[in-house]
Amino acid sequence: MSKRTELLLIYTGGTIGMVEDVETGSLHPIDFTRLEKEIPELKKFDCNISVKSLAKAIDSSNMNIAVWKELLEIIESNYELFDGFVIMHGSDTMAYTASAISFLLENVNKPIIFTGSQLPIGKIRTDGKENLITSIEIASASENGRPIVPEVALYFEYSLYRANRTTKISAENFEAFQSPNYPLLAEAGVHIKYNRFAIRGWEDKKLIARKNIIDDVASIKIFPGLRRDVFQAIANMPNLKGLIIETFGSGNVPSDTWFAEEICKLNERGVIVLNITQCTTGSVMQSKYETGVHLEQAGVISGRDMTFEAAITKLMYLLSCEELTDAEKRSYLDKNLRGEIS
């Protein structure tokens, strides 16, 4: 008899875990120890499903570094006990948390699937049931004794995405997420169709969890008319270690002299500056136009086609790697570490 798959569901908070009070109509978290009452279909899975909640479930708008650390500790301490993980998370910051976990957990070789919903699981028209049921099916799917999706991913509305390639695009549509520069890992219809070419390969390596997260980072969105003193208000933060500039098109900024001067000051202080495009699709190519060339000359690193969510969490991750030199951290920012760059 083959061993049953062991899955761990982790509830962080968010809409998916809410039910409506019959008397007041207000929403409150369900008791996840009684999850099968809300989703009786879970009994049909040929796997053992355990459930764990954070010490304090939160609205995803309140997501923070401390919660990421708690999530990392739960996964790390249970990694050898389970074959896969499904993390229920509010949709607003899910792309940030999923991207962060993809970097902060090194050598992942098991499915870690994030999911959530736009409507509470207790609502008749909820999208939460399908999202959770299919996430469990994907997390438990294996071939020849190995998981089909051995990476951190995000499932929402019939689509499985690489975690660090996602961004939330809608506050009300069920199709709330998009992967602008990378194909889907799988599509769910009558059957789940896995895009094998897009899924990372399985590696037999020991999991490493990075929990010393550096958050001395900031971002500035460039806009026409941006003043120097506004830029300086962020750039001159005393403990700043990394700055993302969100630029026009393929990585362009105004050619004002002061801008180059401020970038040079940041480099002299050892602050890593990363260039991310404001465009939904496409890539930063700093050498394409004159308005981007001076950034390259000033030492700004191209973020290529990373999402903002991936860029900010990758920056936090690399700053946390104390064994790396500053030069190595800058070098790794420009390299594909978890499939975040094409």
Higher local confidence (pLDDT), 292 or 186? 186
**Residue located via tokens 């401390």:** 66
Residues 6+ apart with CB under 8 A from 319: 214, 216, 217, 241, 242, 272, 329
Mean pLDDT lowest among 30-34, 125-129, 205-209: 30-34
Confidence at 327, pLDDT banded by 50, 70, 90: very high
Judged against a pLDDT cut of 70, whether residue 285 lies above it is answered with yes
- For the question of whether the overall pTM of this predicted structure is more than 0.75, the answer is yes
255 contacts 314 by C-beta, under 8 angstroms: no
152 contacts 108 by C-beta, under 8 angstroms: yes
pLDDT at 336: 97
Left (φ > 0), alpha (ψ -120 to 50) or beta: where does 13 sit? left
Q: Reduced to 3 states, what is the DSSP secondary structure of residue 189?
A: coil
Q: Which of 338, 302, 264 is nearest to 99 (CA)?
A: 338
Q: Which residues are 331's β-sheet partners?
A: none
Mean pLDDT lowest among 126-135, 217-226, 274-283, 291-300: 291-300
Whether residue 33 lies in the annotated active site = no
pLDDT at 1: 47
Judged against a pLDDT cut of 90, whether residue 205 lies above it is answered with yes
CB atoms within 10 A of CB 53: 18
Mean pLDDT computed over 77-81: 98
Residues 6+ apart with CB under 8 A from 223: none
pLDDT at 318: 98
Considering the chain, tell me which residue range(s) the CATH 3.40.50.40 domain(s) occupy.
217-333
Mean pLDDT lowest among 9-18, 210-219, 286-295, 319-328: 286-295
281 contacts 250 by C-beta, under 8 angstroms: no
264 contacts 234 by C-beta, under 8 angstroms: no
| Residue range 5-209 in CATH 3.40.50.1170 | yes
Considering the chain, tell me which residue range(s) the CATH 3.40.50.1170 domain(s) occupy.
5-209
Mean pLDDT computed over 155-160: 97
| Residue range 217-333 in CATH 3.40.50.40 | yes
Residue in 5, 12, 15, 167 annotated catalytic:
15
